[in-house]
Amino acid sequence: MRIKRALFAALSGATLLAAPVQASELTKSDVEQIVRDYLVKNPEILVEMSNALRAKQESQQAENDKTLIEAHAKQLFTNKDPESGNPKGSLTVVEFFDYNCGYCKRAHPLVQQLLAEDKDIRYVYKQFPILSETSYYAARVALAVQLGQPDKYQAFHDKLYAHQGPLADESQVKQVAQAVGIDWSKVEAKFKDGSIDQNLGTNRALAEALAISGTPAFIIGDQILRGAPRDLASLKEIVKDVRAGKRIQ
């Protein structure tokens, strides 16, 4: 409304200054010049317009995300992925991640602190290896661990995230696994299990359907956070807003 009033004022003022020229006599070019001059003199209106447009786009994105999450809820929330936190938590958070993703690694300690403080969150890990062949290999190994030695998954997951820099090759993944007491022969026995291919394929299709093209990405209740949270305080605020039914920023 303010923008409309400002433009009306610009046209009115210009018309008065240009008397006895009547508004009906102004050409399209005249109007464009008046509006341009007014906006140049009042640039804060452009900032207001930009903010309004961004807010509208964010609101539309949030509504689209909510619809997409509802459409894919079964695969998002009930697929057989590794989990942590409270299995009966009132809020479910799903993370799409890659073990070679630096932003994922920086977000991981924040997630751990959040789960340590908030005992009402169910946390689901969605393997989404997109950065390299070793990302894909590490994801397969992690899912093989989940199948054959589920009690070792969390330690392996944490250790991979703690690895400094990208995983250079398959031998490094094996070293990490053995460092947390994983029986490698059991990994090899499960590595080619068809359920692993199904899991990775489902996750990739889900990410594509949800317009997730990078890592990390978080499904928090009925909203999507694309990218890593800034810090623990902002992550907790996001969780608080989702629980209150507010749109996250």
Q: List, for the chain, all residue ranges whose pLDDT scores fall below the cut of 50.
A: 3, 14-20
**How many CA atoms lie less than 13 Å away from 241 in the CB half-sphere?**
14
Task: Report the pLDDT value the prediction gives residue 17, as an integer from 0 to 100.
Answer: 47
- Among 248, 212, 220, smallest CA distance to 121 is for 220
DSSP E strand boundaries for 98-175: 121-127
10 token code pair: 């610009």
Task: Report the pLDDT value the prediction gives residue 58, as an integer from 0 to 100.
Answer: 57
Q: How far apart are CA 63 and CA 178, in angstroms?
A: 45
Residues 6+ apart with CB under 8 A from 90: 120
